Amino acid sequence: MEPPVERVRISQAAKDQLIKLKRVTKIDQWNILCRWAFCRSLVEPTLPSPVAIPADSNVEMTWQVFGGAIGDLLIVALKQRCHTDDLNLDNETLATQFRLHLHRGIGYLAANPSIKSSEDLITTTGLTSTEVIQYEDPN
């Protein structure tokens, strides 16, 4: 499945927020935190604000690194969200919405004072520990 972007680039502001999240959650990989952030934004009922997002930090990863084993599922989730929001499913719209959701999600996670550990990320999603443990990586 074709990803919305080949390379995921993060703004400096988002990098600073991710550094905070890395410190409090002890999750040291950008891609894992970014996946959580992207999914966190997708569940919000409103569209992300259409703001310009600079790619002005040195945090960059390929889509394959960002998505990992669930990369195709993330693409499907983005397309479904765009469809639900009555947006076009062309490459430019998908890329823009991906960046907006990713950065909005990073902001939401970083601003959440109840996130003080990796377990708190799970709690903020509404999943139980059992549901997370039961997930098996298909690869």
Q: Do the bridges between strand 60-62 and strand 7-9 make them parallel or antiparallel, or are there none, so unpaired?
A: antiparallel
Going by the DSSP 8-state scheme, the letter that residue 69 receives in this structure is: G
Q: In a 10 Å sphere around its CB, with 0-12 CB exposed, 13-18 middle and 19+ buried, how is residue 47 labelled?
A: middle
Enumerate the H helices of 26-128 as residue ranges. 30-42, 63-67, 71-84, 91-111, 118-125
Give per-residue pLDDT as tens, 53-93.
998 999 999 999 999 999 999 999 999 999 999 999 999 99
Where does residue 83 fall: left (phi above 0), alpha (psi -120 to 50 degrees), or beta otherwise?
alpha
Cβ neighbors of 95 (< 8 A, separation 6 or more) are 4, 5
pLDDT band at 136 (very low <50, low <70, confident <90, very high): very low
pLDDT band at 135 (very low <50, low <70, confident <90, very high): very low
Domain ranges in the chain? 7-134
What is the average pLDDT across 39-46? 93
d(CA 88, CA 133): 36
What was the pLDDT predicted at 126? Answer: 58
What fold is seen in the domain 7-134?
Arc Repressor Mutant (1.10.1220)
Tell which residue, 50, 51, 20, has the closest CA to residue 37.
20
Give per-residue pLDDT as tens, 78-134.
999 999 999 999 999 999 999 999 999 999 999 999 898 888 887 776 554 444 444
Backbone angles phi, psi at 8, to 5 degrees: -95, 120
What was the pLDDT predicted at 5? Answer: 97
What was the pLDDT predicted at 138? Answer: 42
pTM over 0.85: yes
